[in-house]
Amino acid sequence: MEIRKLRLGNLLLPSNVLMAPLAGYTCYPFRMLAYELGAGLCFTEMASANALKYEDKATKRLLFTTKAEPIRAVQLLGGTPAVMEQMAKSTRLEDFDIIDINMGCPVPNVFKSGEGSALMLDQKRAFAIIQGCKKSGKIITVKCRTGIREDAMFTAEFARMCEAAGADLISIHGRSRSMMYDGKPYLEEIAHAKAAVKIPVIANGGIFSAHDAHEMMDRTGADGVMLARYGLENPFLFSELTKKPCHKTPLQILNEQLALTLQYYDETFALRYMKKLASHMMKKRKGTKKFKERLFQCGSEAELIDVINMIFGETETVESYDRFL
């Protein structure tokens, strides 16, 4: 696996190791952490174009960013070409360099509304959405799956459509919509898509170690990899893959995340986010299961800090972190 910078339109990503947009997790503080550890690109949580159109307050919070964020990328969900184009060109997204179009979400209510992975069944509408968003003048990327069902995948065909419509990059989750988040990814489908287009293709799905990331790149020929759930469990994987030095302990990382979250969000949001992040990072760590219930019962910043210190109160840095996993 070759870790390298990646050209995307007029931007040069510092690495080809990306962090996937994850609802409830990839808020501004986590994106800044991922960038610090070597990620080349991070996306906001999925934001609904319809909700954005009606100025939904919760959606506005999803889009929080500052000039300190190295590269700003928003993921937009929607199924109506006119609305997607309108929002892509609107001042609501003026702070973002990149718009990623969600064409892969498998969740039933999203699929039934004709959004997310449902767009893979309507390539004419998907084409119109990409083409419309491209009129914003921003870099446009697409996140999709290998198809709808395991027995009928069409990844290469869909990738060609995305390229023809003007997409600058495609990230492919190696599972079909019917597989949701389980099962072994179909790496050959990603390889077929890579061979079918000239734009960069990023491979996603089933990466739970550096070995998995290397195998993904080697077997697909992809231009980069995208971490998802394991990026939460072990964010140090960004550093391991990119060789960007990090000498902080998990405890230091979490304390810094808490401070940054409280700087820009209210305490309710900060507690909710930090409990989820700490819960992921404590997975497979010996002797910490007994603290999980106490973690989620924390009702204040002080209580949370106490429990995090109980769980992560050691001196190990990234070099020895793997022994806990």
Active site (catalytic) residues: 105
Are 140 and 101 in contact, with CB atoms under 8 Å apart?
Answer: yes
Q: Which residues lie closer than 8 Å to 76 by C-beta, 6 or more apart?
A: 46, 47, 49, 52, 84, 87, 88, 93, 99, 100, 101, 102, 133
Are 301 and 272 in contact, with CB atoms under 8 Å apart?
Answer: no
- Cα separation of 25 and 9, whole Å? 27
- Cα separation of 221 and 204, whole Å? 13
- Cα separation of 197 and 184, whole Å? 24
Are 21 and 46 in contact, with CB atoms under 8 Å apart?
Answer: yes
- Which of 21, 79, 23 is closest to 49 using CA atoms? 79
